[in-house]
A and B are shown apart, each in its own frame.
Chain A
Amino acid sequence: MTDATQGRVFGRTQLEDMVIVPLFALVAALVLGAVVMAATGVSPATIAQSYVALLKGSVGSVNAISETLTAALPLVLAGLGLALGFRSGLFNIGAEGQIVVGGLAAVVAGVALGDMSAFIALPGALLAGAAAGAFYAGIAGWLRAATGAHEVITTIMLNLISFRLLDYLLRTPFIQKEDRADPISKSVPDAAELPKLLTFLDANLRLHAGLFLTLAMVAFAYWLLFRSKLGFEFRASGENAVAARFAGMSAGWTIVLAMAVAGALAGLAGANQTLGILGRATPGFSAGIGFDAIAVALLGRSHPVGVFFAGVLFGALEAGGRQMQVDAGVSIDLIGIIQSLIIVFIAAPLLVKAIFPWGFRKAGKRENKS
């Protein structure tokens, strides 16, 4: 095989990997989603209507695109952190708790810095969110490094602890909104809010400056993983921890730092929610984002750019799903089914080939030849 043909084949499999497989997965998941709807007695006309609504609600208008991106931002941020952990060989299930802690810390810092100018208050609040998330995840990292406690258990427990901690802290005098008996935090002052970006078009568009933060973090995660010494150490200890140790890398520090960076990103996802959309912290404001982000990180193959697109896809389904529920009366829970099916079709190419043997003939032939 000459270099030229090799190059071409490589190009084709790349295209297949990056574009055709995800596209196919999306279509197949939508078809199966329709089957589920039909099985529960939804009429064909309503099925068609609901998919039109799905498209309309995700990319059909400026508002739809704004909603898609708004839903995608926290998924991408938390997903980046998880991807970093996966690359370092750490299975961090704790993004949900880190989002809670980070989001709450951002609100507290925002309230404390509310009288300052936005140039201090907003970065301060974001930094507080990242720091709190990093600290919280760092606990699990430190426990793993110092005592060998499995991070799956510790992060699950830290998630559960964070929910209770949030409920408690939301009732404490400094955080609770004045004159309220229910657990709800003070509102984030304007100076610490992530400014809305598209209000010049329509005051209701929710897309906010977290978009820039997210894009910057995608670039940062890429640089960290593939261009920095630290990222090399992360990946090395993820690929082969023993070899990394013999190469003189400190296993303990690598674990703590990898967890802390992952926690900082999840903390930013929390801050993104409280400072950008909600304007306050309430019980359960994390809304399962940390768990969806696991799927996003896996779907994006733990690559920062992949995570970004996976997050946007999930955000689009989320935004479209809401429209679907309104327009066609089909429960938004259908989106969960579609998301899970997309994951299967993307993550199990062998399964796809088994179902559609004619679809990926070229790649198959190449394998047979070599």
Chain B
Amino acid sequence: MTVLLDKARQRQTRITGGILIALGALIAVFLAPDSSGVATFRLSRPTDVWPVPNLVVPGGAFVYVASALLAFFGVRLFLRGGARWSARFLGIGLIIAVAAFLVWATAGKSFSLTGMLQASLVRAVPIALGGLAGVLSERVAVVNIGIEGMLLAGAFTGALVGSLAGGLAGLAAAVAVGGVFGFVLAALVVTYRMDQIIAGVFINLFVLGLTSYISSQVFQEYRALNNAPVFRAVEIPVLSDLPVLGPVFFSQNIFVYGAFILAGLATYYLFHTRHGLRARAVGEHPRAADTLGIDVYRTRYVNVTIAGMVAGFGGAWFTLGSVGRFDEGMTGGRGFIGLAAMIFGRWHPVGALMAALIFGFADSLQQKLALLGTPIPSEFLAMAPYIATIVVVAGVVGRARAPAADGKPYVKE
């Protein structure tokens, strides 16, 4: 068994090394020749309290050094193995590759780095909260394909109740409705022992159908019902004046703060409280948990309902946190990307948040690069984050382990 594992790990390291070498070569061949000129990254606006000078990078030199570094890491991994380092090298390698790419795209121009980072956080919010909802329910061994539907339900409720009774009421209602769908999922899979994936697919289809139906049947006619106020950015005193960090982390709306706070709370809950330990026990070995007197059904109900509430909060971001208006199917698969973030983040709240930030970064990078007018077709830029995800999942996460009882129904004896 260990021999088999070692072999698999060795192959994984080889693949990782190969990917890094290929990246280095690609950068040397395609990017380096036309990155002459300096790339200027704007870090602060002129109106900032403490302005910092622009970051100026000599294009050609930087790109060549980056490709050399990548090739060095790749060759080292390929020849000497060292599985322990493969994840770290791949991470560092991808960061270098992205930096080289940015420098190449900006060579001879200037680009607001701070603006892009700020947008990354905003775009990461629904993915992070969706991923967090996934973590909370899969830790009690309930597979939650229905996150997409819960996000959509939150977005819809936020818009409807927000239009009628104001933003805060809308937010509360979105969280409540998310919780209702979490409870429904729990009831279907725990009490009625429905297949977990079918139950999730049901929630997605049902919410999509219901919200689209009401939106085309009712909102078309009564537009006032779909015109909610939007939560503005809350500047945190002093901290929001910091250069770069201020605008990125401390001048955002409550959804961004909420995602960070909830990820922290969920980590504390799962790994540092008695209830969290019980929840994880239910996810790993429900029979043993039951023997020790933990109410498996109750634990699943509670955690999946909380997961639904988190997803409902994330859903409200689409309407109350950005445009204030509901559109049919506006979540656009973010719930599924959240699911990917959860697996990418190894079923850990902070991991899911980090993975979501990477998706958000890639998303906003792609948007801003389109403005710079690179010769690469925008479709390929849009694809890049997804390809990178596949590479990372294949190279690093690989055999990440789900909670042992994940997806299995539990029947009391």
Q: Which residues of A contact B (CB under 8 A)?
A: 36, 40-42, 91, 93, 143, 146-150, 152-154, 156-161, 164-165, 167-168, 294-295, 298, 330-331, 333-341, 343-344, 347-348, 350-351, 354
Contact present for B383 and A161 (CB under 8 Å): yes
Contact present for B214 and A149 (CB under 8 Å): no
- Docked complex: B169-217 residues within 8 A CB-CB of A: 188, 191-195, 197-199, 201-202, 205-206, 208-210, 212-217
Q: Which of B192, B217, B328, B398 contacts A350 (CB 8 A)?
A: B192
Minimum C-beta distance from B159 to chain A (A) = 16
What are the residues of chain A within 8 A of B157 when measuring CB–CB? Answer: none
16 new A-B contacts, CB < 8 A, other than A154-B393, A348-B199, are A36-B213, A42-B217, A148-B8, A153-B339, A153-B340, A157-B386, A157-B387, A159-B333, A164-B382, A336-B206, A337-B210, A338-B209, A339-B205, A340-B205, A343-B201, A351-B194
Minimum C-beta distance from A51 to chain B (A) = 15
Contact present for A333 and B213 (CB under 8 Å): yes
Contact present for A160 and B193 (CB under 8 Å): no
What are the residues of chain B within 8 A of A157 when measuring CB–CB? Answer: 340, 386-387, 389-390
Contact present for A161 and B209 (CB under 8 Å): no
A350 to B336, CA, bound (A): 28
Residue of A nearest to B339 (CB): A152
| Any A CB within 8 A of the CB of B62 | no
What are the residues of chain B within 8 A of A344 when measuring CB–CB? Answer: 188, 194, 199, 202, 206
Q: Which of A146, A294, A337, A351 contacts B188 (CB 8 A)?
A: A351
Q: Which of B12, B198, B209 contacts A347 (CB 8 A)?
A: B198
Contact present for A152 and B202 (CB under 8 Å): no
Minimum C-beta distance from A150 to chain B (A) = 5
Contact present for A343 and B197 (CB under 8 Å): no
State the interface size on chain B (CB cutoff 8 A).
Answer: 51
Question: How many contacting A-B pairs (Cβ < 8 A)?
Answer: 144
Contact present for B383 and A164 (CB under 8 Å): yes
Q: Can you list 29 A-B contacts (CB < 8 A)? A: A36-B210, A40-B214, A40-B218, A41-B218, A143-B393, A143-B394, A146-B15, A147-B11, A148-B399, A149-B397, A150-B397, A153-B390, A156-B339, A157-B340, A158-B390, A160-B386, A298-B195, A298-B198, A330-B217, A333-B217, A333-B328, A334-B213, A337-B209, A337-B213, A340-B209, A343-B205, A344-B202, A348-B192, A351-B188
A175 to B15, CA, bound (A): 34
- Known A164-B380, A347-B194; judge A156-B209 contact (CB<8 A): no
The 10 lowest CB-CB distance pairs between A and B, nearest first, are A336-B209, A340-B205, A337-B209, A333-B212, A340-B206, A168-B379, A333-B213, A148-B399, A348-B194, A147-B394
A341 to B249, CA, bound (A): 43
A interface footprint on B241-282 (CB within 8 Å = 1, 0 otherwise) = 000000000000000000000000000000000000000000
What are the residues of chain A within 8 A of B343 when measuring CB–CB? Answer: 150, 152-153
Minimum C-beta distance from B51 to chain A (A) = 38
- Known A149-B394, A161-B386; judge A156-B194 contact (CB<8 A): no
What are the residues of chain B within 8 A of A158 when measuring CB–CB? Answer: 386, 390
Residue of A nearest to B344 (CB): A153
| Any A CB within 8 A of the CB of B162 | no
Minimum C-beta distance from B178 to chain A (A) = 17
- Known A36-B213, A40-B213, A337-B206; judge A149-B218 contact (CB<8 A): no
What are the residues of chain A within 8 A of B340 when measuring CB–CB? Answer: 152-153, 156-157
Contact present for B218 and A161 (CB under 8 Å): no
- Known A348-B192, A351-B188; judge A335-B209 contact (CB<8 A): yes
Q: Which of A40, A42, A334 contacts B209 (CB 8 A)?
A: A334
Q: Which of B217, B377, B393, B397 contacts A168 (CB 8 A)?
A: B377
- Known A153-B344, A344-B202, A347-B198; judge A333-B218 contact (CB<8 A): no
| Any A CB within 8 A of the CB of B395 | yes
What are the residues of chain B within 8 A of A334 when measuring CB–CB? Answer: 209, 213
A93 to B201, CA, bound (A): 11
A152 to B196, CA, bound (A): 15
Contact present for B213 and A167 (CB under 8 Å): no
Contact present for B206 and A147 (CB under 8 Å): no
Contact present for A343 and B192 (CB under 8 Å): no
| Any A CB within 8 A of the CB of B228 | no
- Known A40-B217, A161-B387, A298-B198; judge A147-B15 contact (CB<8 A): yes
A298 to B204, CA, bound (A): 14
Q: Which of B192, B201, B379 contacts A295 (CB 8 A)?
A: B201
- Known A334-B209, A336-B213, A351-B188; judge A154-B390 contact (CB<8 A): yes
| Any A CB within 8 A of the CB of B337 | yes
Minimum C-beta distance from A72 to chain B (A) = 17
What are the residues of chain B within 8 A of A156 when measuring CB–CB? Answer: 333, 336-337, 339-340
What are the residues of chain A within 8 A of B205 when measuring CB–CB? Answer: 295, 336, 339-340, 343
Contact present for A147 and B212 (CB under 8 Å): no
Minimum C-beta distance from A86 to chain B (A) = 9
A294 to B200, CA, bound (A): 11
Residue of A nearest to B328 (CB): A333
What are the residues of chain A within 8 A of B12 when measuring CB–CB? Answer: 147
What are the residues of chain B within 8 A of A91 when measuring CB–CB? Answer: 197
Contact present for B393 and A165 (CB under 8 Å): no
Residue of B nearest to A339 (CB): B205
Contact present for B209 and A148 (CB under 8 Å): no
**Residue from B213, B340, B393 having most chain A Cβ neighbours under 10 A:** B213
What are the residues of chain B within 8 A of A331 when measuring CB–CB? Answer: 212-213, 216-217
A295 to B188, CA, bound (A): 16
A interface footprint on B101-117 (CB within 8 Å = 1, 0 otherwise) = 00000000000000000
Q: Which of A36, A159, A343 contacts B198 (CB 8 A)?
A: A343
What are the residues of chain B within 8 A of A330 when measuring CB–CB? Answer: 217
A157 to B392, CA, bound (A): 12
Contact present for B202 and A340 (CB under 8 Å): yes
Q: Which of A42, A93, A153, A354 contacts B192 (CB 8 A)?
A: A354
Residue of A nearest to B215 (CB): A333
A36 to B195, CA, bound (A): 26
What are the residues of chain B within 8 A of A354 when measuring CB–CB? Answer: 192
**Residue from B11, B188, B202 having most chain A Cβ neighbours under 10 A:** B202
Residue of A nearest to B15 (CB): A147
Q: Which of B333, B336, B390 contacts A149 (CB 8 A)?
A: B390
What are the residues of chain A within 8 A of B339 when measuring CB–CB? Answer: 152-153, 156
Minimum C-beta distance from B300 to chain A (A) = 16
